[in-house]
Amino acid sequence: MLNRRLLPILLCTISFSSCIDFFSKKPYAYQEPVRWAWKPVYSADDSYTRVTYQNGAAPVKRAGKIYVKGNYIFQTETGEGIHIIDNSNPAQSRRIGFLKVGGSEEIAIKGNYLYTNNYYDLVTIDISQPGEAKVVSRSPNAFYAASGAGNHTWELPPDTGWYQCPTYYIDSVVSGWVKDSVYAYCLNANQ
């Protein structure tokens, strides 16, 4: 038989042992719901550094800055490349080619060289023969230190709405976007 003095001690021990598990649990952390949103695609290899020339017109989706050189107009397709427009007859100017330069936002021309950004790199392109344009030099990460996260067109999704906030790496870039279900997200309302 159990001693009457030990019974209260035993009951208190059992009661407190059930509380130990209660107090050791971590507090509830709010988890954002899964949402259908844009998710960044990263390029960690050097495929994003390729600059290619394409004959013929490319569609204009996000027209950017313009630079006139001789009988040619060079117009950025923001985030994608540069349209080459033959302006020898201004009444009938026509797009004759497209330089595919990922992340391109800015252009400058001096002599026969076009300077633009290829994501964070500065590239120099020989345009003495626009149909045979080729990269002659590259300065890797020339714009990385000066750039703020999320300030570039390629770092934003293609339209407004929810998107997963990109993580910024020095050895890769956001090279595209896909729709997916994500936990952490931001709202892109000002595109």
| 153 three-class SS | helix
**pLDDT grade for 17, boundaries at 50, 70 and 90:** low
Is 77 domain-assigned? Answer: yes
Is 26 domain-assigned? Answer: no
Q: What is the pTM of this model?
A: 0.65
Residues 6+ apart with CB under 8 A from 149: 155, 166, 168
Is 12 domain-assigned? Answer: no
Res 56: pLDDT: 86
pLDDT for 189 beyond 60: no
Instruction: Quote the tokens at residue 190.
Output: 């000002």
Do residues 57 and 98 lie in contact, with contact meaning Cβ atoms separated by under 8 Å?
yes
Average pLDDT over residues 127-155: 73
- The predicted-structure confidence for 21-61, as pLDDT tens digits, reads as follows 555 556 666 666 778 888 888 877 677 778 888 888 888 88
φ/ψ (deg, to 5) at 26: -75, 145
Q: Concatenate the DSSP letters of all residues of 3-14 into one string.
A: -TTHHHHHHHHH
Return the half-sphere exposure (C-beta side, CA atoms, 13 A cut-off) of residue 188: 20
Number of domains in the chain: 1
Q: CA distances (Å), 38 to each of 91, 141, 186, in order? A: 42, 26, 10
Distance from CA of residue 171 to its chain's centroid?
13
Is 21 domain-assigned? Answer: no
Average pLDDT over residues 138-158: 66
Is 23 domain-assigned? Answer: no
Return the half-sphere exposure (C-beta side, CA atoms, 13 A cut-off) of residue 52: 7
Instruction: Quote the tokens at residue 158.
Output: 């293609």
Provide the residue range defining the domain that includes 177: 35-188
- The predicted-structure confidence for 153-184, as pLDDT tens digits, reads as follows 666 677 777 787 777 666 677 777 888 888 76
**pLDDT grade for 191, boundaries at 50, 70 and 90:** very low
Is 6 domain-assigned? Answer: no
Is 106 domain-assigned? Answer: yes
- The predicted-structure confidence for 68-98, as pLDDT tens digits, reads as follows 999 999 999 988 899 999 999 999 999 999 9
Is 174 domain-assigned? Answer: yes
